[in-house]
Amino acid sequence: MVKRITLVLSGAVLAIAVYLSGNQNASVAFAYSPTRGTVPKSYGRLAAVIPDQIGTGLIFEDAEGVIRFVSMTGMKEGELARYDQTPTHGGIPKSYGHLVGAVVNPTGTGLVFEDSAGVIRFVTITGKEEGELTRN
């Protein structure tokens, strides 16, 4: 009988100890400082933000339509030129309109453009048109 009372009391004390230790708020201090960098104003407007392999990527489009990919530290990771008549390697036609968004999927980064007529185009990072939507 004494063993049962000891077992029950030990279990109750253990349960109370577990409850009290889990009921307190733990505060953890992280040695983390926010990333800071600079981006030239000549890069234009921020058009999209995407996750990439090394973190968050920012996509800018300037007044001439040049698209720049920039990391959160401000380092330029890539650039896509735009062209009027003569296609350039890796370039995107200016007729596609302004960059309105970007998506990342398992096959790569896709860019979304909308022109003045309301046509929405889905384009790969290499400039290949994947799809098109018209608005009425």
- The ranges assigned to domains in the chain are 41-133
Residue range 34-62: mean pLDDT, rounded: 85
Q: What is the pLDDT of residue 31?
A: 59
In whole numbers, what is the pLDDT of the chain averaged over residues? Answer: 81
Pairing of strands 82-83, 92-93: parallel
pLDDT at 119 over 90: yes
Predicted TM-score (pTM) of this structure: 0.67
- List b or e across 110-133, with b for residues whose CB sees 16 or more CB atoms inside 10 angstroms: bbbbbeeeeebbbbebebeeeeee
Domain 41-133 classified CATH 1.20.120?
A: no
pLDDT at 28 over 60: no
Other beta carbons within 10 Å of 43: 19
Q: What is the pLDDT of residues 51-76, one digit of tens each?
A: 866 678 899 999 988 999 898 888 88
